[in-house]
Structure 1
Amino acid sequence: MLLSRQANRAASLARTAANPRPTSSLPTARTVAAARPRPRTAPGSPWGLVGAVTGAALATAILYSLKPQWIPSTQPLHADAPPPTGVHLDPTTKTPFPTLLTSPEGVPLRLVGTGVRTVSFLSVKVYAVAFYVSEHEFALAQQGKIAGWEGFTPERLIPPYNMPPDTVDRPVGEELVETLLEKADAAVVIIPLRNTSLPHLRDGFSRALVARIKVPRVSNTFTDSMNEATGAAMVEFKSFFPSRTLPKGLPLELYYNAKDRSILFQLRDEKTHAPEVLGRLREPTLATQLMVSYFADSAAPSPELVRSVAMGFDPVERGL
């Protein structure tokens, strides 16, 4: 009986929050009242809080419509509970990600897909990851109005790229993602599933960049001056990551800007949720290839992310 009353109360609160008043001209997340008191977000914090209360089939959350709109809880939401409004649960890890995000430049970004990075030989889940694309370009890609995205089907992102004979000349995989990044802002949000360190993540990014530079399609475009620039950029990039722990559940955000082809690396203060910029990778080739590495034709960090994003771009399959 008590559980029934709690469920009815949660449903009533969700209906009450269905049409919140916007707090800015940017897209806002819907506010869902919590079923029990929660600490308030620090004044002036640009992120709100996604929290979770566990119980039989109950999970409620506080989403503050500030910029960007969220911060995940340090624990996944209850596996049997429906996600709060405006939140998507990664199917494998139940890690919550917002369906909408706002870049530091104020660009609305839409969640396209999520996945998990697993160390295969140990079967250890390392982090959950989400990929976002600017809303305007997301719509254009779905409509086939970005070069190379005409007649998109999920098979064009999912290896081994089983394409119909009349479409074999269209870009697929990482090359298709590159055409998108020529126009679209994007973001990758990484949420550790266990405590890790910034130098550990730095080393992972560095290995990915070195591997991308060796890809023949990429390396053949390099000139001597570009090699010098990328070498200097790699040295600067490695200085972004101080020797400190990144706790489980605290996101690392990578915001890609299509205009200058750069990536802003950003953390959040654990208590205030205030943004902490680690640095900006300004070398265009490195920035683009780091984003593309998540969709590499071989050895992508999370095949689940690739599949999820492929389905996310398909208007028929999209279920986020």
Structure 2
Amino acid sequence: MVLLQRIRPCQSIQPGRLIFWAASRKLNPRMIAEPGLRIAALHSSPLQLLARPRSRSSLWAYGTGLLLVLSAALAGGSVLNSEQAHPIPLREDPVTHARIPESLRLPSRDPQQSFRLLGLGSRHVTFLQIPVYVIGVYIDSVTEHAISTWKAFDAEAFLKHNVALDHLVKGKGQIAIRIEPTRATNGPHLRNGVERFLKLQLAQDQASLTETELQEIKAAMTELRANFPPGVVKAGQSFVFRKTTENTLEMEFEGELMVVMKSKWVAETFIAAYLRADPPISEKTRVSVADGLQKAQSGAL
């Protein structure tokens, strides 16, 4: 079923597994309906039309967009690029069956900057191994090219001993971690998890850090705490944490830039935490990333 809702570009909605969205600047039959319209495909919900066309031209584009969305939903699901309305392939997490995009464009900075999915997996908690969120690890073209120049890559050494992790995380390119909860949670709960592993690593690294670096880390973690979404985070909503070329860590929530943490240590440590072996946040993500690194090293990603 399809739910249509008029919202602001950065406002969030409950999307279910598949999201089809449009943010066209002009009414255009090649685009999807009206500007600022997001269309979410839900698993089980009666058809609801919450966005009403206000003119004949709007009605024409509205109807055209609805037909395109219904066709895409019946075809098996993909995400529509907001600029070109072209389907973006999705990859399914084998455990949660959540489907995440094969590529990312992050609208808060350069909309032309594309990231490719390197690997994915899910984070589980408690002895029952309940999945709490799906993780996607993405790299830009600079990082992908750097990996292709590696003389060799040993997946087993990467998984057991973090070999090549520094080359990946401390390179000149950008890496992004996308996190999508599989069930409703809240911002403080997710934030506390991020702060916990940063503080644990800081306790190990503190003796080797300068006073300036420590002040930068303190300021970055204060910024993170102050700007993390405070309310409910619904299943299917997403965070993206990006290590930039300036060695800062950006956090976006549902396409809105929330904070820029100006600490190289925080940026590198956050990305490395999802990839290192001791202890792993998600072993399945690491295994998938190791496979992606092998493909990228051979130019087959």
Aligned to 1:91: 94
Q: RMSD across aligned C-alpha pairs, in angstroms? A: 3.1
1:311 aligns with 2:253: no
1:140 offset after TM fit, Å? 2.8
1:133 aligns with 2:146: no
Contact 2:123/2:281 (8 A) holds in 1: yes
Structure 1: runs of 5 or more not aligned: 1-22, 24-32, 34-39, 71-83, 145-149, 162-170, 269-274
Give the 3-state SS of the residue equivalent to 1:304 in structure 2: helix
1:236 aligns with 2:223: yes
Distance (Å, rounded) in 2 between the aligned partners of 1:314 and 1:214:
33
Letter in 2 for 1:203: N
1:250 offset after TM fit, Å? 0.8
Aligned to 1:191: 180
How many equivalent pairs are there? 239
Distance (Å, rounded) in 1 between the aligned partners of 2:201 and 2:284:
20
Give the 3-state SS of the residue equivalent to 1:208 in structure 2: helix
Query: Structure 1 residues 137 and 287 mapped into 2: Cα distance closer, same or farther (>3 Å)?
Result: closer
Aligned to 1:279: 259
Give the 3-state SS of the residue equivalent to 1:277 in structure 2: strand
1:43 aligns with 2:35: yes
Query: Structure 1 residues 138 and 318 mapped into 2: Cα distance closer, same or farther (>3 Å)?
Result: closer
1:96 offset after TM fit, Å? 1.1
Relative to the length of structure 1, the TM-score reads 0.66
Distance (Å, rounded) in 2 between the aligned partners of 1:305 and 1:62:
22
1:295 aligns with 2:275: yes
Distance (Å, rounded) in 2 between the aligned partners of 1:120 and 1:317:
38
Give the 3-state SS of the residue equivalent to 1:290 in structure 2: helix
Structure 2: runs of 5 or more not aligned: 1-23, 25-29, 45-73
What do residues 124-148 of structure 1 show as CA deviations (whole Å, max 9, x unaligned)? 110011000002321330331xxxx
Residue 261 of structure 1, aligned match among 238, 243, 247: 247
Aligned to 1:247: 234
Structure 1 residues 99-108 or 276-285, which shifts more? 99-108
Contact 1:262/1:282 (8 A) holds in 2: yes
1:220 offset after TM fit, Å? 4.2
Contact 1:174/1:297 (8 A) holds in 2: no
1:102 aligns with 2:89: no
Aligned to 2:67: none
1:66 aligns with 2:70: no
Give the 3-state SS of the residue equivalent to 1:199 in structure 2: helix
Distance (Å, rounded) in 2 between the aligned partners of 1:253 and 1:69:
22
1:288 offset after TM fit, Å? 1.4
1:210 offset after TM fit, Å? 0.7
Contact 1:126/1:192 (8 A) holds in 2: yes
Aligned to 2:52: none
Distance (Å, rounded) in 1 between the aligned partners of 2:252 and 2:34:
18
Residue 201 of structure 2, aligned match among 198, 212, 215: 212
Aligned to 1:172: 163
Relative to the length of structure 2, the TM-score reads 0.70
Distance (Å, rounded) in 2 between the aligned partners of 1:223 and 1:153:
33
Higher normalized strand content (fraction of residues): 2
Identity of aligned residues (%): 23
Aligned to 1:155: 156
1:232 offset after TM fit, Å? 2.5
Contact 1:173/1:296 (8 A) holds in 2: no
Contact 1:157/1:172 (8 A) holds in 2: yes
Higher normalized helix content (fraction of residues): 2
